[in-house]
Amino acid sequence: MSAILVTGGAGYIGSHVVLQLLARGERVVVLDNLASGFREAVLGGHFVQGDVGDRALVAALLAEHAIDTVMHFAAHTVVPESVADPLKYYGNNTCATRNLLACCTEAGVRHIVFSSTAAVYGMPASGVADEDTATVPINPYGSSKLMSEIMLRDVSAATPLRHVILRYFNVAGCDPEGRIGQSTPKATLLVKVACEQAVGKRPQLSVFGTDYATPDGTCIRDYIHVADLADAHLKALDHLRAGGDSTTLNCGYGHGYSVREVIDAVERVAGHRLTVVDQPRRAGDPPALIARSDRLKALLGWQPRHDDIDFIVGSALAWERNGRYG
């Protein structure tokens, strides 16, 4: 039986995908350097600590485990850090992906499911993006991912390799059963940060910008539960195994919540008020960014199970209270 290599599989999203792969009996090999992931988050399969940019290591793993599919999550993902240290992001996100693709083509890997981001869209004027919306990233994180998308498309055009690119919107929440969760150091994602404040891990929660042209003046984002996102990866794998063509798909629910609405949800679920401080806008934050994900549903038959902000917040808050690592 062939195996699946999951790069970055000890990280927040990768570990949730690994959990679902293992649940349906897949052979899984996880490669992670543990720079931001946790060994405890990998609850099965074969774990290897190392870098995606290590071509000798990657080539050996592909051969030893008869890998026919790679799910590539390994990346730096903090937007402000990418602005401050762009070469770190181009090195780890783009150059390391180039090395991975070279190893995959040499080893005859058939399928890649690639973790991308809505940051490739930049600031669409309407606040809503489908897969044909212009890609004009406004930070090195988005640019580094878009470069990897372009490389992957070009390699697929020149070789038998087929791929699915999944562009995530705002991923939130944790495993509903509480087995694994999000313990990313210095996290910047709103639901995570708000839940940390709710349990006393942060002294306050900052709201960056209260004067946007939105109903309550704060930014609106499309929040998708990590378990639903993980399910999209499994359906992408099934699509490729069935002979499906390479494609790019948005991963979101198709509607958004403002920063204030998310804070209200955290307060509602936690049962108490948060300490919130209004701050000036951050450069480059679009007023709204919402996915059109009709293509994901139509092509893969994906249907979300956790499209409820209180459920998303509840699973994240439970992890902050009871999580076992981080």
What is the DSSP annotation of 193-204? HHHHHHTTSSS-
Fold agreement between 3-172+223-251 and 190-222+254-322: no
Sheet holding 28-32, edge to edge: 46-49, 28-32, 3-7, 67-72, 111-117, 162-168, 247-251
| CATH, range 190-222+254-322 | 3.90.25.10
* Residues ≥6 apart with Cβ < 8 Å to 57: 31, 48, 50, 51
Residue 163's CB is within 10 A of a number of other CB atoms, namely 24
- Positive or negative, the CA dihedral 206, 224, 175, 9 is negative
Tell me the whole-structure pTM to 2 decimals. 0.96
What number of CA atoms fall less than 13 Å from residue 289's CA on the CB side?
22
Res. 326: pLDDT tops 60: no
Out of 12, 89, 90, 141, which one is annotated catalytic?
A: 141
**pLDDT category, 187, cuts 50, 70, 90?**
confident
Res. 182: pLDDT tops 80: yes
- Model confidence pLDDT, tens digit, residues 131-161: 999 999 999 999 999 999 999 999 999 999 9
Res. 284: pLDDT tops 80: no
* Distance from C-alpha of 279 to C-alpha of 295, rounded to nearest angstrom: 37
- Considering only CA atoms, which of 177, 193, 165, 176 is closest in space to residue 266? 193
- Tell me how far CA of residue 297 lies from CA of 223, 229, 324, in angstroms: 17, 12, 34
Which residue has 């919130």 as its token pair?
Answer: 276
Pick the CATH number of 3-172+223-251 from 3.40.640.10, 3.30.950.10, 3.40.50.720, 3.30.465.10: 3.40.50.720
Average pLDDT over residues 69-94: 93
H runs (alpha helix) in the chain: 12-23, 55-64, 79-84, 86-89, 96-107, 140-158, 190-198, 226-241, 259-270, 294-300, 309-322
- Model confidence pLDDT, tens digit, residues 56-71: 999 999 999 999 999 9
212 is a catalytic site residue: no
H runs (alpha helix) in 210-287: 226-241, 259-270
Residue 200's CB is within 10 A of a number of other CB atoms, namely 9
Percent of the chain with pLDDT over 90: 93
**pLDDT category, 48, cuts 50, 70, 90?**
very high
Provide the residue type at 88 as one letter: K
Q: Residue 312 region, left (φ>0) first, then alpha (ψ -120 to 50), else beta?
A: alpha
Q: What is the pLDDT, as a whole number, of residue 78?
A: 84
Q: What is the pLDDT, as a whole number, of residue 252?
A: 98
- Tell me how far CA of residue 50 lies from CA of 3, 91, 255, in angstroms: 18, 16, 38
* Distance from C-alpha of 299 to C-alpha of 163, rounded to nearest angstrom: 14
Using CB atoms within 10 Å of the CB of residue 213, give its burial: 0 to 12 exposed, 13 to 18 middle, 19+ buried: exposed
* Distance from C-alpha of 148 to C-alpha of 244, rounded to nearest angstrom: 21
Q: To 5 degrees, how large is the angle CA 248–CA 253–CA 255?
A: 120
Res. 186: pLDDT tops 90: no
Q: To 5 degrees, how large is the angle CA 255–CA 149–CA 83?
A: 75
What does the block give as tokens for 18? 């690994």
**pLDDT category, 285, cuts 50, 70, 90?**
confident
Q: Spell out the domain ranges in the chain.
A: 3-172+223-251, 190-222+254-322
- Considering only CA atoms, which of 168, 240, 175 is closest in space to residue 23? 175
* Distance from C-alpha of 141 to C-alpha of 121, rounded to nearest angstrom: 12
Arithmetic mean of pLDDT over the chain: 96
